[in-house]
Amino acid sequence: MFETQLKVLLLAFKIDVGKHVRHFLTLKDYAKEEILEILELGLAIKKEQKSKIPHPYLMGQTLAMIFEKSSTRTRVSFEAGMYQLGGHALFLSNRDIHLGRGEPVKDTARVISSMCDMVMIRTYAQSMLEEFAAHSKVPVINGLTDSYHPVQLLTDYMTMMEHGKDQNAVVAYIGDGNNMTHSWLMLASKLGFELRIATPVGYECDPAIVADAMEFARISGAKITITNDPKEAVQGATVVTTDTWISMGQEEEKAQRILDFKGYIVDEALMKRADSEAIFLHCLPAYRDVEVSETVLEGGQSLIFEEAENRLHAQKGLMVWLDKHR
Ligand code: CP
Ligand code: NVA
């Protein structure tokens, strides 16, 4: 019964198969319906995996994974996910490939996409990812840039769905206006839920990304509030989330940031202002008693490890969806 449902889903998605490759560089490029299709697929495949039903939808395919920054979850989830889908993943650190020695992005893109079926890239500038995608014959997935972390948001929303928190969602993001915050802006404004962001002065989101989100929000009906007051943001929220104050590449700013973010820790006192059944999410890695208290991180409202596992399931849905849309 379940297998049949999944086949129907896959068939339905084929109707919209475009003539050119779809990349997954930012949620900005995705419609609400498409985001939900990816998540539905991910959840269906998760059920198959949990029931030990083989699901080799990407049999014989190769995913190239280029990492210019460190990773635990992204590497393991894409590599394990591709294997479970019947394919193979290549881990390519920029220390080991010629990209790190100055081979042009456009040459690397043309070479890798002539041999592999999909590419995942974790890098600094969003423009590098865009340049790679422009020269790639196969789908390119953003595995985190300085601007966005869209696969993490698929995962976070999947976790919200599984806990019924996608209904009447009021998400409070407390902390740095970074790649995670920008991705929350895109997700909320596309899907139409309420998002409140509280950052310290001087650490606000990129105004161009906020402007885009406000434009999408006008269409979707999302309510987006941006403040410098964490207490105001978290009041009655059904989902509370944060991220590190020191993202990869910002290590030298650590001491200053710790000073500037004083008062932005998500601790029990702050959580008490949220809805009594609010959940806590964090993309991880988390720094205990820095952006979040140990008690909240390890407490009953925290879903951080379910969220981490969902990286695997959401991204399997994404890879199968991208394969169907080439
Ligand atoms: N959340 C996340 O992307 O984790 P990694 O940096 O370990 O991949
Ligand atoms: N904002 C963090 C997310 C890590 C998954 C970073 O970019 O380092």
pLDDT digits (tens, 9 = 90+) for 207-264: 999 999 999 999 999 999 999 999 999 999 999 999 999 999 999 999 999 999 999 9
Atom of ligand 2 nearest to the CA of 243: 1
| 157 within domain boundaries | no
168 and 88, same structural domain? no
Q: Is 122 tagged catalytic?
A: yes
- What's the DSSP call for residue 302? B
- Ligand 2 binding pocket includes 291 (Cβ within 6 Å): no
Q: Are 290 and 168 contained in the same domain? A: yes
Output the CA torsion 318→26→175→292 (10° steps): 10
Candidate list 23, 149, 182, 257, residue with the active-site label: 149
Instruction: Indicate which CATH number applies to the domain containing 184.
Output: 3.40.50.1370
- Asked whether the CA dihedral 183, 156, 158, 165 is positive or negative, the reply is negative
178 Cβ inside 6 Å of ligand 2 = yes
- Say whether both 118 and 33 belong to one domain: yes
Least-confidence region, from 4-8, 43-47, 280-284? 4-8
Interstrand relation of 239-242 and 170-174 (parallel, antiparallel or unpaired):
parallel
Domain-located, residue 94 = yes
| Domain encompassing residue 37 | 9-149+309-323
- 74-126 confidence digits (pLDDT tens): 999 999 999 999 999 999 999 999 999 999 999 999 999 999 999 999 999 99
| Arithmetic mean of pLDDT over the chain | 95
Q: Is the peptide bond before 285 cis (omega within 30 degrees of 0)?
A: yes
**Maximal CA-CA distance, the chain:** 57
Residue 16 has a pLDDT of 43
Question: Cα angle at 67 between 197 and 107, to 5 degrees?
Answer: 115
Same structural domain, 130 and 234: no
Q: Report how many domains make up the chain.
A: 2
- For the entire predicted model, the pTM comes to 0.94
Q: How confident is the model at residue 20 (pLDDT cuts 50, 70, 90)?
A: confident
- Please report the atom of ligand 1 found closest to the CA of residue 149: 3
